[in-house]
Amino acid sequence: MIKPASRTLPEIFESFGEARRNGFLAMKALKDEGRGVVGTFCTYVPVELIMAAGLIPVGLCSTSDETIPEAEKTLPRNLCPLIKASYGFAVTDKCPYMYFADLVVGETTCDGKIKMYELLGKLKEVHVMDLPRTQHKAGSRALWLAEIRALKKILEDRFGAAITDDKLREAIRERNRERALLKELYELSILDPPPLTGLRQLQILFGSQFKFIHQEKVRELEASIKSIREAWQAGERPVQAGAKRILITGCPMGGATEKVVKVIEESGGVVVVYENCTGAKQFDRQVPEDGDPCEALADYYLAIGCSVMSPNPNRLELLGRLCAQFKVDGVVEMLLQSCHTYAVESQRIREFLKERAVPFLSLETDYSAGDTEQLRTRAAAFIEML
C-alpha cells in the first residue's frame, strides 16, 4: 500500500526507476485475475479504447540492446534499434509484457515498424491501424476516425467487451488526469534551478507507463509532485545553480538512451524538458471530454507532432512553446540510428531554432554503450559554448 505523505524523494525515484521491472509482477497478478493485455508501440494508439474495454494497455517499445543480435538474424542490421530490440524481445520471449500481451496494436508510422509488424504477426496476434501521413486533409481525419472505430470493434469482438460511450468517456477522463499530472511533474522544472535532474524526470515519465492501477498511479504522482515541490521550497537543490537548461527533442527515450541525458548532466547541463514521445508530446494536451468520444480521440491523436507526418507543424509549435516556457539555453536532438523521418526533419528543426537564436545540437546514437565517450565530447563542447 502506498503512503504518499511519508515517502522520501529517493524512495519516489526508486519506485519509478524500477517500475518497468516491478510491473511484471503486477501484470502477472492482473492476468491471473483474467484481465486481457494489449501491447502497443506508439503514442498514436488510442489507449482509452483499450482501457474502456477493461483491458490493460502496455508499451512494448524496447530500450535495451540485449536482444538485437537475435533480431539481426532476421532484420537488417541498419534498422532503427528500437524496432530491432522490440522484435528481438518478441522472438526470444524475453519481455514479459510481450509475453503477456493477448493482442498487439501496431500503426503505420515508419516503414521499419510497418514491415516488422508483418513478421511479428507470425509470433503474436497483431492488428495494425492505418495512420494517415498528413494531418491537414479532410480525408486524413475521416480515415483515422474509421480506424479508431475499427479498433473499437476489434477489441469488442476479440475480448467480448462492450465499449459504451460512457465507458469511453470515463477512460478519457482517467487518461487526461494522468496526462495532467505528468505535465505538472515536468513543469516543476520551470523552476530555476530545477527541483529534479533531467535523469530523474525521465525515469518518472518513462516508469509511469508501467504502473497499471490507475488510482494507485494517480496517488503516487500526486505525492511525488508534492514531495519534490516541498523539498525545493525547503531549500534542497539537486541541480547546481547556473546549470545550462537543455530541452531534448527527437526519438523516444528511456533505458539505454539515458546515456544521452547522463553525458549532458555530467557536462554542466540539466535537461529541463523532453519534447519527445517520452515527455510533452504525450502529455501536453488533453482529449476533449465532451462530444462524440471516438471523434475526440481521432482529433487528439491525429494532431500528435511526430516526424512521420508530412508536413509536421505541430512539432514546431510545441518545440517553440517549450523553449520559451522553460527558458532553455539550448536544444539537443536525439536521433536513433536509421530513423529517417526524424533525421530528415532535423534540418527543419535546426532552421526553426536558428530563427529564434536557440543553439542546437543533433546527436545520433543507438542502444549500445560504445559511443558514450563520443557523445560526452560533443555534449560537453556544446554546453561549454552556451
Query: What minimum distance in Å lies between the beta carbon of 212 and ligand BJ8?
Result: 20
Least distance between ligand BJ8 and beta carbon 148 (Å): 16
By beta-carbon proximity to ligand BJ8, the closer residue of 83 and 328 is 83
Residue 248 vs residues 5, 49, 105, 253, 361: alpha-carbon distances, Å = 31, 30, 27, 10, 10
Of residues 63 and 176, the one with the C-beta less far from ligand BJ8: 63
DSSP conformational letter for 364: E
Q: Say if CB 127 and CB 45 are below 8 A apart.
A: no
Cβ proximity to ligand BJ8: between 164 and 347 the closer is 347
Q: How far apart are CA 260 and CA 199, in angstroms?
A: 10
Shortest Cβ distance from residue 47 to ligand BJ8 (Å)?
12
Shortest Å distance, C-beta 131 to ligand BJ8? 9
Hey, what's the cell of 30?
492482473
Question: Where on the chain is the footprint of ligand BJ8 (CB under 6 A)?
Answer: 42-44, 80, 82-83, 109-110, 112-113, 251-252, 277, 304, 306, 308, 336, 339, 341-342
Q: Which single residue is written with the C-alpha cell 514491415? A: 115
Distance of alpha carbon 137 from the chain centroid: 26
Residues belonging to the chain: 386
C-alpha cell at position 203: 525515469
Which stretches within 93-213 are classed as H helix? 96-100, 111-120, 138-159, 165-187, 198-207
Closer residue to ligand BJ8 in complex, CB, 91/336:
336
Distance in Å, CB of 59 to ligand BJ8, minimum: 9
Nearer to ligand BJ8, 225 or 331 (CB): 331
